[in-house]
């Protein structure tokens, strides 16, 4: 039973346009949601996070939106740049469990010129 789902395995966006990556979850006990970015042959790197008590968090070109009633979050990248091409993982932290993270399967974003 996958508690964190990323239903789009891949996404292609033109440079300068908005990229929207989606993530759904089932566990109401998650208290933090994170996005990680991964380049080939490297480890994931933290991108942005949001607490379950917030509905939006912004950091430069990256914004994460959380809709708790729908158990859905999304990552917006505006404007998209070729260097954003990577695999993006959505992750959720379970409260009170040694900060264990549950990851989605990832979405491969390709930003084209």
Partner 1 sequence: NAGVTQTPKFRVLKTGQSMTLLCAQDMNHEYMYWYRQDPGMGLRLIHYSVGEGTTAKGEVPDGYNVSRLKKQNFLLGLESAAPSQTSVYFCASMLTSGSHEQFFGPGTRLTVL
Q: Does 56 help bind partner 1 (rule: CB under 8 A)?
A: no
Rounded Cα–Cα distance for residues 90 and 64 (Å) = 11
Provide the terminal-to-terminal Cα distance of the chain, rounded to the nearest Å. Answer: 38
Residue 113 in contact with partner 1, rule: CB under 8 A: no
Q: Is the dihedral of CA 109, 48, 35, 50 positive or negative?
A: negative
Q: Which residue has the tokens 């469990």?
A: 97
Q: Give the nearer residue to partner 1 in terms of CB position, either 9 or 82.
A: 9
Does 101 bind partner 1 (CB under 8 A)? Our answer is: yes
Q: x-or-dash pattern for partner 1, window 4-43, by CB under 8 A?
A: x-x--x----------------------x-x-x----xxx
103 is a site residue for partner 1 (CB under 8 A): yes
């Amino acid at each position: 039973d996958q508690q964190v789902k990323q239903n789009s395995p891949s996404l292609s966006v033109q440079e300068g346009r908005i990229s929207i990556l989606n993530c759904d979850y089932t566990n109401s006990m998650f208290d933090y949601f994170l996005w990680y970015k991964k380049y080939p042959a490297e480890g994931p790197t933290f991108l942005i996070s949001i607490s379950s008590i917030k509905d939006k968090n912004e950091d430069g070109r990256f914004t994460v939106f959380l809709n708790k009633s729908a158990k859905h979050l999304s990552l917006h990248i505006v404007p998209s740049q070729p260097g954003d091409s990577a695999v993006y993982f959505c992750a959720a932290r379970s409260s009170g469990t040694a900060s264990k993270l549950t990851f989605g399967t990832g979405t491969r974003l390709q930003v084209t010129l």
